[in-house]
Structure 1
C-alpha cells in the first residue's frame, strides 16, 4: 500500500511474523477478565502487567490476589506490575480526598508473604501534562492487548462494564520486545519507583529523573531486531509514541493517508488532532468510505447524570459531542452520500472505551491511543499494527466489527445531535462561560 508521505515510516517498519491462528479476539469485558485470571494462574515464567492503573476495588483485589497466588505456587515466576506514578497517588476524579491506590498496594505487600512489585512511572511532574498510557499484559509468550485498565467496570465484575477491545497474540518475539522495553526504558530509570513500599519519594524530588526519562522515551522504540523487514506476509509491529510528531502519531496519519477503499476508526472521545482531521478530509475527497464509531455522551466514562451534582469534569462528554456535531455539519454532504458514517455507541448505562483503526482489507491498529491532541503530544502511548497483505484475517476482523457495531446507531444528520440549548442548565452555563473566556481550545488540547 503506497504512502503519500515523503519520509514515510510505514514501509520501513520492522515486524514479527504472525500466524493467523495465533491471534484470538475476546468478545467482552467479562471474557477478558476470565482470560486474564486464567493466564495468570497458569503462568510459568513471567507476568508483566502494564496499565494506567490497578484500582483498589473487588476486581483489582482479584487480580492482585491472583498474582500473589501465582507467585506462591511458583516462586521463580517473574512478576512486575507497572502503572502511572501520579494516577496511583490520587483518588477518583470528583470523589472526596482519598489516599490513592498506592496506600492499598503497600497494605497488600504487608498482608502477603509473597512479593509482587508494583512500579509507578512518572511521565510528567503533573498528571495533566502526561501519563503512562502504555497497554499490554505479557504472560509467558502471550501478549494480551487491550485499552482497559484494571478495575470493576473495565473487568465487568458486577452489573456495569466499560467496552473495549481485547486481543491475544501468541508470539514470543513480540512478548520479549514488549517486556524488554518495560525493563530497559522504564524500570531502569531512577525516576521509576516502587509504589508498594512505604516512604515514597515526592514527585518534586524526582523532577530531574523525570525530565531525563521523558527525554529518553521520546527517542525510544521497541527492539524489533528479532523481526524482519516488510514482507508480503501476516505480521505485527509494536509502536511507541511520546511527544510532538512521534512515530506512532505519524504512522496513524500515514495509515489514514494510505487508505484507498475503506477506513474505520474507533475513539471514545471525539476530539481529533488537526493532523488526523486533515487526513480524514483528504480520504473523503478521494472517495474512501469512512466509518467512525464513537461513544454517545451518556456512554462516556466522564458522564454524570443531570440528577447528580454538577462537577466540571462532567462537561467533557458535552464538549466531545459539540466537536462531533461540528464535524458532522461540515461533512453532511458525505453523510448523505453514505461516504461518511458516524456511529454512536450506547448500551444502557455501560460505557465505551474503544480505540483503533481498520484500513482497507490490510491493516488493523490495536492501541490505547484516544486519537486526540493529548495522546498525540503528552501521554506515553503504544500500539500494535497488524499487517495482513494476504487477507488472512478478514473473517476475524469482520466478526469484531460486527460485535462493536451491535449497540450503535448511525447519525443521518448533524441535527440529531444535541446543542447547547438541550444540555442541563449547569452544563450549559459552564460551557458558555468557557467559550467566552476562550479556554475551550485549551481544554480540547489537554483532555
Structure 2
C-alpha cells in the first residue's frame, strides 16, 4: 500500500520471516511469570533481560534467584540484565527516602557465588528527561516481548496484577539482532555501568559520556541485514527510536495513515502526541473504524484512593481523564455514529498497562511506547512490527483483543466522564492551581 509520507518507512523496512507457529500470545501476567521462569531455567546459551526496572521485591527476587540458579547449573551461560540507571537508584515514588534497587543488586552479588551482571543505562542525566524504555527478553533463540517490568504486580506474584501484552517469538535472527543492539550500542558505552558492584560513579561524573550515548542512540537501530525486503509472507521487524521525529515515531504515524478499514490502539495514559491525533482524525475522515482502549483512572498505576493522603503524583490519572474527556467531546459525532469507540478498562483493584496497535487485518505493533509526548521525545523506545499479509494470525489476534475487551466499557458520551467538580477535594484544589499557573501543558509533555 503506498505511503502518504515523503520518507516512507513501511515499504523499506527489512524484516525477518516468521512462521505462524513460532508466535505465542500469553493470556495473563501470571502466565507470563510462569513462562519467563521456565525459559530461564531451560536456557542453554544466553539470557538478555532488558526492562525499565528489576524490583527488590518477592517477584524480583524470584527472577534473580532463577538467573543465579541457571548460571550455577551452566557456568558457560551468558547472562546480562539491563535496566535504567536512574530508576535503579531511587525508591518508589511517594514511598519516602529509600536506597533504591541498586543497593539490593549489590547485596545479591555479595550473597551469590555466581555472577549475574546488572547494567544501568543512563539515557539522560535526570529521569524526568528520559529513561531506558526498551522492552524485550532474549533467551536462546526466543524473544519474550512485553511492556511489563519485573516486580510483584507486573508478574502477578500475589493478589494484584498489572495487565499488559505478552508475546513469545521463536526466531533466531530476531533474537540475534536484539541482543547485538544491547551489546554494541548499550554495553559498549562508557556511560553504561554495573549497578551490582559497589562504589557507583555519580551521574554528574558521567555527563559527557551520557551525552555521547544519547547522540549515538538517536542514530542507532537494529541490525536487520540478515532479514529481507518486504515480501508477501509473515514477518517481524524490530524498530527503535529516541528523540523527536525518530523512526519509531514515524512508523506509528505511518501505520495509522495506512489504515483503511479498522484501527485499534491501546495506551494506559491518554495523552496523545499531536502527530498521532492528526493521523487519527485523518483516518476518521477516510471512514476508518477506530477503537481506542485506555485504562480507567482507577486502573492507572499512579492512582491513589481518596481515602489515602493526597500526593501530587495522584493527580496524574485525573489529568489523563481530562485529556480523554476533551478528545471525546471533540469527537462526539463519530462516537454517536459508532465509527469511533472509546473503551475504558477496569478490573477491580488491578491496573492497566497495555500499549500497541492493530491496523486493518495486516499489521500488529508490539511496543512499550505509551504513545504520549514523553515517549515521542524523551525516552528510548522500541517495537516489533508484525506484518501478516496472508492473514495467518487473524484468529490469534482476535483472541488477544477479545481478552483485552473483557473488562472494558464503551464511553457513549463525553458527559459520562467525570469533571473537576466531581474529583476529590484535594485533587480538584491541586488541578485548579495547576491551571492557574499554566503548567498543565508542561505536565502533559513530560508525563
Q: What TM-score does the superposition give when structure 1 sets the normalisation length?
A: 1.00
Residues 298-313 of structure 1 aligned to structure 2 (within 5 Å): 298-313=298-313
**Quick one: distance in 2 between partners of 1:343 and 1:13?**
32
1:119-165 superposed Cα distances (whole Å, 9 cap, x missing partner): 00000000000000000000000000000000000000000000000
**Quick one: distance in 1 between partners of 2:377 and 2:390?**
34
1:37 aligns with 2:37: yes
**Quick one: distance in 1 between partners of 2:42 and 2:240?**
29
1:394-433 superposed Cα distances (whole Å, 9 cap, x missing partner): 0000000000000000000000100000000000000000
Match of 2:183 in 1: 183
Residues 283-298 of structure 1 aligned to structure 2 (within 5 Å): 283-298=283-298
Provide the secondary structure at the position in 2 that maps to 1:409: strand
Match of 2:383 in 1: 383
Match of 2:92 in 1: 92
Q: CA deviation at 1:309?
A: 0.4
**Quick one: distance in 2 between partners of 1:238 and 1:316?**
31
Match of 1:168 in 2: 168
1:164-215 superposed Cα distances (whole Å, 9 cap, x missing partner): 0000000000000000000000000000000000000000000000000000
Match of 2:251 in 1: 251
**Quick one: distance in 2 between partners of 1:332 and 1:122?**
43
Match of 1:115 in 2: 115
**Quick one: distance in 1 between partners of 2:436 and 2:17?**
53
**Quick one: distance in 2 between partners of 1:257 and 1:215?**
29
Q: Structure 1: which 5+ residue stretches go unaligned?
A: none
Q: CA deviation at 1:229?
A: 0.5
Residues 124-143 of structure 1 aligned to structure 2 (within 5 Å): 124-143=124-143
**Quick one: distance in 1 between partners of 2:364 and 2:118?**
31
Match of 1:144 in 2: 144
Match of 1:372 in 2: 372
**Quick one: distance in 1 between partners of 2:434 and 2:215?**
33
1:66 aligns with 2:56: no
Residues 308-347 of structure 1 aligned to structure 2 (within 5 Å): 308-347=308-347
**Alignment RMSD (CA, Å):** 0.3
Residues 386-425 of structure 1 aligned to structure 2 (within 5 Å): 386-425=386-425
**Quick one: distance in 2 between partners of 1:187 and 1:435?**
43
Residues 178-217 of structure 1 aligned to structure 2 (within 5 Å): 178-217=178-217
**Quick one: distance in 2 between partners of 1:93 and 1:250?**
32
Match of 1:427 in 2: 427
**Quick one: distance in 1 between partners of 2:397 and 2:31?**
18
Q: CA deviation at 1:222?
A: 0.1
**Quick one: distance in 2 between partners of 1:183 and 1:390?**
35
Q: CA deviation at 1:2?
A: 2.4
Match of 1:348 in 2: 348
**Quick one: distance in 1 between partners of 2:156 and 2:93?**
20
Q: CA deviation at 1:334?
A: 0.2
Between Structure 1 and Structure 2, how many residues are aligned? 447
Match of 1:218 in 2: 218
4+ residue runs over 3 A deviation: none
**Quick one: distance in 2 between partners of 1:131 and 1:6?**
30
Provide the secondary structure at the position in 2 that maps to 1:167: strand
Q: CA deviation at 1:10?
A: 1.1
**Quick one: distance in 1 between partners of 2:168 and 2:7?**
32
1:262-292 superposed Cα distances (whole Å, 9 cap, x missing partner): 0000000000000000000000011000000
1:197-244 superposed Cα distances (whole Å, 9 cap, x missing partner): 000000000000000000000000000000000111100000000000
Q: Structure 2: which 5+ residue stretches go unaligned?
A: none
Q: CA deviation at 1:53?
A: 0.1
**Quick one: distance in 2 between partners of 1:359 and 1:2?**
15
Provide the secondary structure at the position in 1 that maps to 2:219: coil
Q: What TM-score does the superposition give when structure 2 sets the normalisation length?
A: 1.00
